[in-house]
Amino acid sequence: AEEKDISKRFFMLLHRFLKRKYKTVDVLFVSHHSTASEVSEEDFFYGKETGGTTVSTAIEKTNEILAARYPTNDWNIYCAQSSDGDNSGNDDTRLTHQMNNLLAIAQYFAYIEVYGSNLTPEMVMRTSSVWSAYEKLSEDHQNLSMRKVFGKEGIWPVFNDLFSKERNSK
């Protein structure tokens, strides 16, 4: 509901940024619930699909697409993912494996975890399984950046932090 709206707004901002900044850019849209698939821009932003969440399926699908169409010696790979942090209980090992593969070829991977406007950073006491898995991966992968977004008003500051020139020149 609200978290999905926040995610879509974040990706609309990112999509607009990429299309304006780069003359040549391929943008892939991977959507997931219990399974993942590559979807059109329209389906990604306006689709109503909901369901259970198995996060590894999205990362696995991304790896498959990249291997088939984007050789790393010809392409710079940048990825962004948004999630409410929920993941199927037995998916963490598979997710970590798939993320290790993706992080090995990506120049940059931005992960945002979204929370509704009724939650503040102080109110979020739990650490999601996705956040925990990615936090461990970030110890060995400097190309993984993670941020939490609280409500629509949190989108721009996080976007700016993840994609600012100052951040990317470090």
pLDDT digits (tens, 9 = 90+) for 60-71: 999 999 999 999
Tell whether the model's pLDDT for residue 24 goes beyond 60: yes
> Residue 83's beta-bridge partner residues?
113
Asked whether the beta carbons of 3 and 17 are under 8 A apart, the reply is no
In this structure, the strands spanning 108-115 and 144-150 are parallel
Return the half-sphere exposure (C-beta side, CA atoms, 13 A cut-off) of residue 141: 24
In this prediction, residue 52 carries a pLDDT of 63
Count CA within 13 A, CB hemisphere, residue 88: 17
Does the reported pTM lie above 0.75? yes
Pairwise pLDDT comparison (166 vs 144), residue with the higher score: 144
Q: Which region, left, alpha or beta, applies to residue 10 given φ > 0 means left and ψ of -120 to 50 means alpha?
A: alpha
Torsion of CA 17, 22, 24, 27, to 10 degrees: -20
Would you state the structure tokens that stand for residue 33, as one six-digit string?
């619930």
Residue 142: CB atoms within 10 Å: 10
